[in-house]
Structure 1
């Protein structure tokens, strides 16, 4: 069995192993990390040898920590990362490069249709009828998108939203409210087979699926990092938030994961604070201490037009994993339009948590 895991902010850990009589055998840890002293690697392999195959990642990490020589130095490597790599090997997880990725980047669409497309496309990936997909959104209208479990009245000032012509929709994933304006945010979705995140905890899957965009931002001169549970941040505060939804495959089999991210390019903070009911403490934690400014980290930190930022992100993904231009099929669009009408555009769904 073979497993790979890139430690967030670190290096690649590769594990090869066998399972015999319910325990790990012939464990070999490798990678492009730095480790001192040399004999520490033998200690790591020995600690994992004969570990029960059902040991979780934390238990595997504890076995490693218990045998490391005194004054061991790990750079780009953690015992937790080793544990995750082992679990991914045992789960027979796939890698990004195992797939033929498809890009969808089409004309602006309504907020309700975007919600529906996420559900339809991820369902298609779960059924094996669509390849893993990166979809970059374009917004036709300003919107507030609330999380699946948020209270509508607690999160949104409906009168202010109506005054500014802002549509309020509810998505299928959890997390917090997002305020978007056409041309002032960058939103993308990843619809991926569940096998890509096998062996990862829920939290680790966020970091894993965000790794490519951190690299893309780095190529544009932005030092960004994953901030648990679901944020991307820089020294100047939060610049993006992610959310996920698991969709079960046909017959209850392996399914797919929807991972979508909204990044702030240049937001009208005054208007956002009129429409969203955000407490002062939460606002300060997101790097937005004053309403009398624009929330513009990507515009300010890159100095690039929004379209150029998107293009560089797409090309970074393409360079890492390959990416073929595609489109929403006629059948997918028809199903999404029906869902937008009957579900995501309905008052019943939007106010399902009043």
Structure 2
């Protein structure tokens, strides 16, 4: 008799899905899906179990979800969960997907580093987590020089005003994740990076992974009186305006970077002198003023930047049992090497002119 496996997945804003199953000869057997979800008619639960029965145990989450959806008859209603959620619970039962509680989390407090080193560390630490040499980690950034960090696929020419960059002494860097440009002066932003194994988001769509990975920060913001929400795909906003944006990068070794920058006390006049923010982008966000797109956290909370970062770290630590960590000498040395060989080079910065 095969051992039974147990997996759970809590849908963001929804219900708990539980999968209990065995594996016989490499295939799912005696599958039982349960949870506090709603399903009509009741008989559809047997159809879900039957759709999973006999599936190869290494079937990807997307294929499991497709099998479930194909087995559901017209008119079936799944409320508070989905075929995708069932697939994730199954993958977790088989240890092919993981949850937050499956990992020992670490938090690195902000320390002032050059912007080039910060972007290089994102690559280094994502690789370290993917290779299993570092526990999954939350790292808060800090820096001194005024900077713009552009997304991996952005054009330098299209995103930056060279006169503004020169006038304000801006350091321009390109990161490994996609998304838009970040205008950063000392103390004007709150930036953090999450380095996680891709098993943590196994089965999630890209859009859902953003919500999933930032659930803790929404809780932290709520604790200081800021009710934030996601505007698909990657903007974080309140009813008073945008406060930040997220970006991601998945590496071939199984590591994943999730990066967020939030406005704390941005100089909007300087920002629009440095960045080219076109009419098309503004119209998509429902505004005609670049300066009105961003509503800083300092104005919304009245708190110091350090207090907000402390609230975020405390929420993450309490929620996931995280412990304090630091950057190792080897990690800093490798980041410095990559600054010289990649991130500070014209070839990398201007790879999309």
Flag whether TM exceeds 0.5 (same fold).
Answer: yes
Q: Which residue in the other structure is 1:208 paired with?
A: 212
Q: Which residue in the other structure is 1:131 paired with?
A: 135
Q: Which runs of 5+ in 2 are unaligned?
A: none
1:79-228 equivalences in 2 (<5 Å)? 79-90=83-94, 92-228=96-232
Give CA deviations for 1:294-346 in whole Å, capped at 9, x if unaligned: 83342233332222211111111111111211111112112212222332122
Q: Distance in 2 between matches of 1:201 and 1:89?
A: 19
Q: Distance in 2 between matches of 1:84 and 1:228?
A: 22
1:40-55 equivalences in 2 (<5 Å)? 41-42=45-46, 44-50=48-54, 54=59
Q: 3-state SS of the aligned residue for 2:209?
A: helix
Q: Which residue in the other structure is 1:252 paired with?
A: none
Is 1:57 the counterpart of 2:56? The answer is: no
Task: Give the counterpart of 1:241 among 236, 239, 245.
Answer: 245
Kept after mapping to 2: 8 A contact 1:123/1:247 = yes
Across the two proteins, how many residue pairs are aligned to each other? 348
1:16 Cα deviation after fit? 2.4
Kept after mapping to 2: 8 A contact 1:24/1:52 = yes
1:66 Cα deviation after fit? 5.7
Is 1:3 the counterpart of 2:2? The answer is: no
Q: Which residue in the other structure is 2:271 paired with?
A: 272
Superposed CA RMSD: 2.9
TM-score calculated relative to the size of structure 1: 0.86
1:34 Cα deviation after fit? 5.0
Q: Which residue in the other structure is 2:316 paired with?
A: 317
274-283 or 225-234, which deviates more: 225-234
Q: Which runs of 5+ in 1 are unaligned?
A: 250-254
